[in-house]
Amino acid sequence: MGTYEEKLSILSEMIAFARVDYSLKDSEYNFLLGVATNLGVKKEAFDALLKEKSPKVILKSQAERIVQFHRLLLLMNIDREQHKKEIQTLHNIGLAMGLPPSAIWQVLEVMHNYPDKVVPVDVLINIFKAHYN
């Protein structure tokens, strides 16, 4: 995984996405804290991001952007609610990352076929592979 600044940027983006509905639920906070821990970011640094955003760092590789899109997808579904604004925001984030629009839409459609709308990693990767070939 990338630099510490990239990790903070990833978390900042996720926090902003979680707040699209103007709140941060306990389930979202706990998920985000788990991602922070997984990335090697301490709780204190993570909690500081709740108050002040980290500068945006563009993820260089396509694989990193797909992983981040998947994290955001999981975050959106952690509370088992999907709102139109969340779906539209996730779509726009995917586009801003340079992901293929048709792959984004396909992921957003197939998520309904899985328990808790958790798209398996291999399915997600195959969707993006198909759209890159």
pLDDT value of position 59: 85
Q: Kindly state the tokens that stand for 89.
A: 């925001």
- For 85, counting Cβ atoms within 10 Å of its Cβ (0-12 exposed, 13-18 middle, 19+ buried), the class is exposed
**Distance separating alpha carbons of residues 88 and 46, to the nearest angstrom:** 26
- Give tens-digit pLDDT for 56-98: 888 888 999 999 999 999 999 887 777 788 899 999 999 999 9
7: pLDDT strictly greater than 70: yes
| Domain at 4-132, CATH from 1.10.3680, 3.40.50, 3.30.450, 2.40.50 | 1.10.3680
- pTM recorded for the entire structure: 0.88
Q: What are phi and psi of 119, to 5 degrees?
A: -75, 120
Q: Residue 1's pLDDT is what? A: 56
Domain locations in the chain as residue ranges: 4-132
Condensed to tens digits (0 to 9), the pLDDT of residues 31-48 reads 999 999 999 999 999 999
Cβ–Cβ < 8 Å for 95, 62: no
